[in-house]
């Protein structure tokens, strides 16, 4: 057992990446590590398991029979490590080091990213954040472990990704501060058919034929007056400020503009179906102390009203 004492949770992550990438250089890019760090970790793995594990060929590092067997056992090993080493100082937030990548759905970027930055700066001085807007490659990057955490409006059906339900995503409609609709007591579905309507255009985790508004309006024999879909919230707000257009999104994403536009609760029909913000993490990172801590803190940030 002596030879296993130097293995860490990250040892499993590097082994998994080596098995899938077959290249120390590719693993370094994937996990934001130097090639020497990957090579050193491979040396420790070989010593601990008393086996070559990977054979160097012209096609890269080819896993042998034992490496393939260990790879099949990785889900169990991840769980075992998280239970045996729950207080490993190497993965406590204050000691965690390296690049942490976060992908955030675009409408939430302005409200959430500054809070995530403040959280990491205050608690994880050795971490370098890399934050991107959720894109078409985000799900694949989550699955392969190169994204540490993502926030989206939908869960992902992938056995390499864990989707955690966060706060309820209440919907709201915004308009300019002098809009005629403000004379009414509340926004109705009919208003969405009478005024130009702008919808977010977000790279989603699954395919929809209709947006929520289109689906609900269709059930009431109404057709929303959609004039634009846009994937950049600040630009949408600028259009709203200078026109009679309405914009529909989650209330949380819109609160950063409450001094520039009027924010109204969405028609009740649109809030009858509960929707949530989801925190997404790679399965191979979900149980490390840092990633558990990070996930819980981001969930708390999402639950805050502003």
Domain residue limits, the chain: 2-85, 97-168+276-303, 171-271
Residue ranges in the chain modelled with pLDDT below 70: 1-9, 32, 78-93, 203-210, 305-306
pLDDT at 213: 86
**CATH class of the domain defined by 171-271:** alpha beta
Structure tokens at 298: 């981001």
Pairing mode, strands 149-152 and 276-282: antiparallel
Look at residue 245 in the predicted model and tell me its pLDDT. 97
In angstroms, rounded to a whole number, what is the distance separating the alpha carbons of residues 174 and 252? 12
Q: What radius of gyration, in Å, describes the C-alpha atoms of the chain?
A: 23
Alpha-carbon distance of 179 to 39, in angstroms, equals 63
Phi and psi at residue 165, to the nearest 5°: -75, 130
Distance, CA of 43 to CA of 268 (rounded, Å): 60
Place of tokens 């803190």: 297
Instruction: State the pLDDT at residue 260.
Output: 97
CA–CA gap between residue 20 and residue 40 (Å, rounded): 18
Q: How many CA atoms lie within 13 A of 138 on its CB side?
A: 28
Same fold across 97-168+276-303 and 171-271: yes
The domain made up of 97-168+276-303 has a fold known as D-Maltodextrin-Binding Protein; domain 2 (3.40.190)
Report the 10 Å Cβ neighbour count for 131.
15
pLDDT at 96: 76
Question: How many helices, marked H, and strands, marked E, lie in the chain?
Answer: 13, 12
Q: Residue 83 has what pLDDT?
A: 59
Alpha helices, DSSP H, located in 22-153: 24-31, 35-49, 65-72, 74-84, 109-123, 138-143
- So what's the pLDDT on residue 42? 87
pLDDT tens-digit series, residues 126-169: 888 999 999 989 999 999 889 999 999 889 989 899 999 988 88
CATH number listed for the domain at residues 2-85: 1.10.10.10
- pLDDT at residue 88 in the model: 46
| Cα pseudo-dihedral 9, 10, 14, 17, rounded to 10 | 80
| Sequence-distant (≥ 6) Cβ neighbours of residue 61 within 8 angstroms | 18, 22, 23, 24, 54, 55
- The answer to whether the beta carbons of residues 213 and 293 sit under 8 Å apart is no
């Amino acid at each position: 057992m002596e030879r296993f004492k130097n293995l860490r949770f990250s040892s499993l992550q590097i082994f998994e990446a080596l098995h899938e990438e077959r290249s120390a250089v590719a693993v370094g890019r994937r996990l934001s590590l130097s090639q020497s760090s990957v090579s050193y970790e491979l040396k420790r793995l070989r010593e601990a398991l008393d086996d070559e594990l990977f054979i160097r060929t012209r096609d890269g590092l080819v896993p042998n029979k034992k490496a393939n067997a260990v790879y099949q056992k990785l889900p169990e090993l991840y769980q075992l490590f998280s239970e045996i080493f729950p207080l490993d100082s190497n993965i406590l937030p204050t000691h965690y080091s390296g690049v942490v990548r976060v992908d955030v759905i675009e409408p939430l970027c302005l409200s959430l990213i500054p809070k995530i930055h403040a959280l990491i700066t205050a608690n994880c001085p050795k971490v370098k954040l890399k934050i991107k807007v959720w894109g078409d490659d985000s799900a694949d990057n989550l699955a392969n472990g190169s994204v540490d955490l993502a926030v989206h409006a939908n869960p992902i059906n992938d056995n390499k990704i864990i989707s955690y339900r966060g706060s309820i995503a209440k919907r709201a409609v915004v308009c300019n501060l002098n809009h005629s609709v403000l004379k009414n007591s509340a926004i109705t579905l009919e208003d969405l058919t009478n005024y130009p309507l702008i919808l977010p255009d977000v790279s989603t985790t699954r395919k929809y034929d209709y947006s929520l508004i289109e689906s609900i309006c269709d059930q009431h024999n109404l057709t929303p007056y959609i004039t634009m879909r846009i994937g950049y919230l600040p630009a949408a707000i600028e259009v709203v400020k200078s026109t009679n257009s309405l914009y529909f999104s989650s209330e949380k994403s819109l609160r950063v503009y409450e001094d520039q536009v009027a924010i109204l609760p969405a028609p009740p029909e649109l809030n009858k179906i509960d929707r949530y913000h989801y925190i997404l993490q790679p399965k191979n990172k979900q149980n490390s102390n840092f990633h558990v801590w990070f996930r819980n803190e981001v969930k708390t940030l999402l639950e805050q009203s502003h």
